[in-house]
Amino acid sequence: MPVRKENKMKPLKTLWQTVVPVFLIIFFVLPMSAEEQTEEEAAPPVKKYVEFTLSGTYTDIKEMSFFGTSSTKTLRGLFKKLDELKNDDEVAGVIFKIGNIGIGWANLQEVRKKLGEFKDAEKEMIAYLESGGNAQYLLATAMDRIVLMPTGNLNLIGLRAEILFYKGLLEKLDVEADMLAMGEFKSGIEPFTREGMSDAFRESMTELLDDLYAQLLEKIADGRDGITSEIAAELIDRGPFTAKEAQEAKLVDTLQYYDELLDTINETPDTQVAKQNDKKKRKVPDMNSFAGMIQLFNMLNPPQRAKARPAENQLALIYASGPILPDFDSPFPTTSIITPKTLKKAFEKARADNAIKAVVLRVNSPGGSAIASDLIWREVMRTQREKPVIVSMANYAASGGYYISMAAGTIVAQPGTLTGSIGVFGGKLNLKGLYNKVGLTKEIITHGQNATLYSDYGSFTETERERVEKMMKTIYEDFVTKAADGRQTTFDEIDAVAQGRVWTGKQAKELGLVDELGGLDTALTIAKKEVGLTDEDRVDIIVLPEQKSFFEQIMESILEEEAGISAPLPLQLAQQHPAIHKLNTQWHRIVTWLTLFEKERVVTALPYDILIR
C-alpha cells in the first residue's frame, strides 16, 4: 500500500512542478521581456510644430451688427488660443504666419508680451513674413527667428502721425467753425479752425511720437541679437529693405518661401509640422427653402450654451469701447459706443452680485460727451466704494476716456496707450453760409437773450460766448478736481499735467496719472490680489455688458416702444454699416462728433485719430 500511494502522488507532483514555472514565465517573465524590448525598439518622441496665423482685426469685444453678433476676432479669444498652445506639452514650437494685422499700438504691445510667454514655456517661435511693416515686425521680434519671403519687403521706415485739417474745406462750403478750448494743449478744435498745427499742438505731438518711437527701438533691440537701440534707429533711416538687404542687416534670419520653411522643419530628425484641421465653413442659407429659413433663424438666434456651475469667486470684466455718447435708444443697440445707460446696468449688476468680488473696467475710448462721461464716472466711484475697481486702458483712454477711469482704485495702461487729454472744448458750426449757397434761408424769432445758442444759423453772440466759456471753465475745473481726488494729489499738480495734453502710458505713469504698466492680464491679477485670491483659486470672469442676440434686441425694442420709449436716432446703425466700419475713416469720426454737438456744446474728447503705421 505505501508503494502504491507513492506512485499515485508522483504524477501530481510532476504536474505541479511543470505548471508553476510555466505560469511564472507566461505572466511575469514574458511581459517584462516584451516591455524591455518595446522600450528598446520604441521610436523617440516626435517634436510637433503647429501653424498659427496672426492677421486680421482684433478688438476687445465682438460688435453687434444688423444680423446679430459679428465674427470679429477678440483679443481674449486670441489669448485663449495662445495659452492652449503654450500649455500643450506635445507642442515643441509654433510657426506664426504674420499678415496684415489691424490692431492699435497699445494692443499690439499686449499681444507681443503674450507671445513672450512662449519663451518661458521653452517652445520655439518662428515668425514668417511675406512682407511686413512696423506692426508685423514688432510682433516678429518677440520670436526666436524671423523668416522672410525671398521676394518680400521689410517696410521698416519709422513712425508718423497724421492729422487731417478741415478749415479749407469748411471755407469752400461757407461753413464757419465757432469753437473754443479750455487748456493750452487742448487741440481738439484745431482741425476745424486752423490749416496746420499750433506750436503747442506740434510740441505735444512731437514728444508723443518721440516716446512711441523710443519704445519701438527698445523692442527691436530686445528681440534681435547684436542690434542696439542706436543701431535700430540707423537701420530704420535706411529702410525700407528688400529681403536680401533685411537679411544682411540681421533684421531677419532666413529667406524662404513658406513651403520651404515647412519642408526644412519636417526634414529635421524627429520633428514634424502638424497638419491644420480644416475648419467647417458655414454655408449661406438657401432662402428659397424652408430649411434655409430655419438655418437663418438659428444663425440670428443661436442656442444658449449650457453654463458650468459658477465659481464662488467671480470678477466682473466691463468693457467700455468707442466714443462716449448720451443715451440713444436704438432698435439695434451696439457695443461700439459707450452710453451711461449701458454702463450703469453693468456696474449695478456688479455691485449687487455678492459673488463678484472685484471689477475690471477695460477702457478703449477717445472720450466724447462731458455729461455722459460724468454719469459713468459716478458709477465707477460708487462701485469703488463697495468693491475694488481696476481700470485696464487699451489703445485710447483720453479725455472722457480718462474721465471715466480716474475714480478707480488702480489704473493700468500699456506703454503705448494714449491717455490724459484732461481738458474740454466746445462750439458749433455756423451753417448759414452753406444754407444760403444752396438757396436756403431761415428766419428766427427768439425769446431769451441766448435763445440762438444751439442754432446752426449764426455764430455765438457775445453773451452766448460768455456762457459757453463759463460752462467750459466749470467742466474743466470739475474734471481736474475729480482727477486730483482719484489720484490722491492736489488740483495744481493735476492742472500742471492736464491742459488738454495727451500722454503715452509710459509718460502717464511717470506723471502719476496711471499706476501700473501692463495689459488686461495685469489688471486681472491685481484684482485677484486686491480681494485676497491666489492663482490657485478658481475664479470666473463675468463679461459685461451682456451681448444679446438679434431677436432679443427686436423684442426689447418692441417692449420699449410699447412703454413709450422713443428711438429717434439711428446713429448706432450707421456706425455698424459694414462699409463704414471697414473704412473707419476720418469722415466717420466727423459725423460722430457733429452728431454729439447737436446735443451738447461742451465735450471732453479727442476728436482726431492718431494713426501710427
> Tens digit of pLDDT for each residue in 345-374?
999 999 999 999 999 999 999 998 999 999
ω before 240 within 30° of 0 (cis)?
A: yes
Helix or strand (DSSP H, E) at 68: strand 68-69
- What is the DSSP code (8-state) at residue 27? I
For the cut 50, the answer to whether the pLDDT of residue 280 exceeds it is no
Q: What is the pTM of this model?
A: 0.82
Mention the CATH class of domain 310-439+449-605. alpha beta
Give me the CATH code for the 47-157+239-273 domain, please. Answer: 3.90.226.10
User: Average pLDDT for residues 164-172, to the nearest whole number?
Assistant: 93
Amino acid making up residue 195: E
Of 82-91, 429-438, 452-461, 551-560, which range is least confident?
A: 551-560
User: Average pLDDT for residues 291-319, to the nearest whole number?
Assistant: 69
Helix axes 520-530, 75-86, angle to 10 degrees: 80
pLDDT for the residue 416: 95
**What does the mean pLDDT of the chain come to?**
82
pLDDT for the residue 360: 98
User: Average pLDDT for residues 447-464, to the nearest whole number?
Assistant: 93
What would the pLDDT profile of 194-221 be if each residue is shown by its tens digit? 999 999 999 999 999 999 999 999 999 9
For the cut 90, the answer to whether the pLDDT of residue 494 exceeds it is yes
Phi and psi angles of residue 594, each rounded to the nearest 5 degrees, phi first = -65, -35
The three three-digit cell numbers of residue 254, written as one number: 532666413
In whole angstroms, what separates CA 67 from the centre of its chain? 23
- Between residues 471 and 599, the one the model is more confident about: 471
**pLDDT above 90 covers what percent of the chain?**
60
Whole-angstrom CA distances from 2 to 13, 16, 345 are 16, 21, 102
At residue 546 the predicted structure's pLDDT band, cuts being 50, 70 and 90, is confident
User: Average pLDDT for residues 171-176, to the nearest whole number?
Assistant: 95
At residue 162 the predicted structure's pLDDT band, cuts being 50, 70 and 90, is confident
User: Average pLDDT for residues 143-171, to the nearest whole number?
Assistant: 93
Q: Which residues of 477-499 are buried (b: 16+ CB within 10 A; e: fewer)?
A: eebbebbbebbeeeeeebbebbb
pLDDT for the residue 14: 55
d(CA 347, CA 360): 11
- Let me know the angle formed at the C-alpha of 283 by 278 and 284, rounded to the nearest 5 degrees: 150
Which has the closest alpha carbon to 588: 597, 579, 601?
579
pLDDT for the residue 605: 74
For the cut 60, the answer to whether the pLDDT of residue 300 exceeds it is no
At residue 176 the predicted structure's pLDDT band, cuts being 50, 70 and 90, is very high
Identical fold for domains 47-157+239-273 and 310-439+449-605, yes or no, is yes
What would the pLDDT profile of 365-415 be if each residue is shown by its tens digit? 999 899 999 999 999 999 999 999 999 999 999 999 999 999 999 999 999
Domain residues of the chain, as ranges? 47-157+239-273, 310-439+449-605
d(CA 363, CA 322): 9
